[in-house]
Structure 1
Amino acid sequence: MPIQKNEPARRLKASPKKDTGGPVRQCAVTRESLSQDELIRFVRSPDGVAVPDVSAKLPGRGAWLEADRAVIQKAIKTDALSRAFKARTSMTEGVLELIEAQLVQRCLGLLGMARKAGAVILGFDQVRAYLRKDAPGYLLEASDGSEDGRNKVHFLAKAMYDSPKVAGALTSAELGMAFGRERVIHALLQEGSLSDSFGTAYRRLTGFRAAPEIDWFSGRDR
């Protein structure tokens, strides 16, 4: 039976890319060969527990699963990692929540790097002023922000640029944590490598947390 992955209204799809010869791994559940950017690496501890390694930096042999909640659940149900590691392997407790937390931290870390690099615009008026003179890399709208405010930002961007990218799965408190403030509702990442890296990390996050911007704007920004 095919896996029922996150429905299209929740998850962002990876953008089509040219073949750059980058690392490709096979998902231990779907058997599909995917870019590492679309997968979660797991490593097996000496006591036989598989732990997620979102940054893919932990030592040891790894196994890979597609970055999607339903795929991870299928791996648990079918004991897929025992087969992948050729040894009895259990998943660490609360693995789905742990993966989501690691992916959130990855996104926040990249946003913090962008802030230090001076590549971030914060605030409703400041974001709109920037949009009037330059294209955004990513518009950041807090998931708990007001519909009116985010619509005004998005529709201005949409009127001036083709398919502005929006990330709306992070809360105002999480955005505030990334930018050294209590709360942030509206922000903008300038175009560049950090914006590209954030987009990659954010797409993986939406395999575990809903991407509300798709519903907000009826898919017109994608």
Structure 2
Amino acid sequence: MTDAPEACAAPDPAEERGPLRRCVVTGAVQPKEGMIRFVVAPDATVVPDLEERLPGRGLWLTADRAALDKAVSKNIFSKAARRAVRAAPDLGERLERLLERRCLDQIGLARKAGQSVAGYEKVREALKTGRVGRGGAPGLLLEASDGSADQRGKIAALAPHLPIVDLFDSAAMAAALGRDHAVHAVMARGKLADGLARDAARLQGIRGFVAGAGPAGQG
């Protein structure tokens, strides 16, 4: 499987119209923000299209590990595509790595754009003043999964309305933020924060977390 296939069949305009999509596993119709688009590459392999730009008929799946595993094991992608296609047995693991990379890349882009600050005191100051670096109002909190529960609680209490992404440990956060150590960070409201929030929620589902509990939620 390749992560970025070349040309596929022409898109189906009807299938891609509107904000709702039907999950090929559950049949549920829901907003595409909580779903993942797959397409069939020229070699008949199923590949994720996280940017939702690849040509071809989209095969939409709820961002849920159990649903993905069922799609692979029960050959549901072939039924949805109406032809024989191949889904790699480790598609879930590959998708998880792609989503992790997207999330960390967006954290890095926010740092380079001056739309984030890191460090306990800097984050506290940003939340109190309502301004993040060269960006605007705070839009998303980043907390290392292995950080102090006490300090995380104090930060969260300053902005109880902000979504929290805590899917990565301090080492991964530090690498994305260009620091030796990072436990707390905040991103300014905007496109990057919105994109990270969506990808983090999808990653949470593909990792197999229960919806509404733990990372990427409100605490």
Shift of 1:215: 4.7
Aligned match of 1:94: 90
In structure 2, C-alpha distance between the alignment counterparts of 1:215 and 1:56, rounded to whole Å: 27
Aligned match of 1:75: 71
Residue identity (%): 39
Aligned match of 1:195: 193
Shift of 1:138: 1.0
For residues 212 and 56 of structure 1, do their structure 2 counterparts lie closer, same or farther at Cα, with a shift above 3 Å needed?
closer
Verify the 8 A CA contact 1:167 1:213 in the aligned structure 2: no
| Worse-matched range after superposition: 89-98 or 44-53 | 44-53
Aligned match of 2:32: 36
Verify the 8 A CA contact 1:168 1:212 in the aligned structure 2: no
Secondary structure of the equivalent of 1:76? helix
Aligned match of 2:19: 23
Aligned match of 1:178: 176
Aligned match of 1:133: 129
Shift of 1:98: 0.9
Aligned match of 2:44: 48
In structure 2, C-alpha distance between the alignment counterparts of 1:64 and 1:156, rounded to whole Å: 38
Aligned match of 2:5: none
For residues 113 and 145 of structure 1, do their structure 2 counterparts lie closer, same or farther at Cα, with a shift above 3 Å needed?
same
Shift of 1:185: 0.9
For residues 211 and 129 of structure 1, do their structure 2 counterparts lie closer, same or farther at Cα, with a shift above 3 Å needed?
farther
Give 1:99's aligned amino acid. Answer: L
In structure 1, C-alpha distance between the alignment counterparts of 2:197 and 2:210, rounded to whole Å: 12
TM-score by length of 2: 0.79
Secondary structure of the equivalent of 1:91? coil
In structure 2, C-alpha distance between the alignment counterparts of 1:156 and 1:35, rounded to whole Å: 31
Gaps of 5+ in 2: 1-16, 131-136
For residues 115 and 97 of structure 1, do their structure 2 counterparts lie closer, same or farther at Cα, with a shift above 3 Å needed?
same
Shift of 1:150: 1.1
Verify the 8 A CA contact 2:205 2:211 in the aligned structure 1: no
Give the root-mean-square deviation of aligned CA atoms: 2.5
In structure 2, C-alpha distance between the alignment counterparts of 1:98 and 1:55, rounded to whole Å: 16
Aligned match of 1:8: none
Give 1:138's aligned amino acid. Answer: L
Gaps of 5+ in 1: 1-20
In structure 1, C-alpha distance between the alignment counterparts of 2:184 and 2:123, rounded to whole Å: 7
In structure 2, C-alpha distance between the alignment counterparts of 1:193 and 1:41, rounded to whole Å: 20
| Worse-matched range after superposition: 182-191 or 138-147 | 182-191
Deviant stretches of 4+, over 6 Å: none
For residues 211 and 180 of structure 1, do their structure 2 counterparts lie closer, same or farther at Cα, with a shift above 3 Å needed?
farther
For residues 213 and 88 of structure 1, do their structure 2 counterparts lie closer, same or farther at Cα, with a shift above 3 Å needed?
closer
In structure 1, C-alpha distance between the alignment counterparts of 2:43 and 2:113, rounded to whole Å: 42
Aligned match of 1:120: 116
> CA offsets, 1:15-71, max 9 Å, x none?
xxxxxx853221111112222222111122333321222222333333111111011
In structure 1, C-alpha distance between the alignment counterparts of 2:196 and 2:47, rounded to whole Å: 23
Q: Larger RCO: Structure 1 or Structure 2 (Cα < 8 Å, ≥ 6 residues apart)?
A: 1
Verify the 8 A CA contact 1:143 1:212 in the aligned structure 2: no
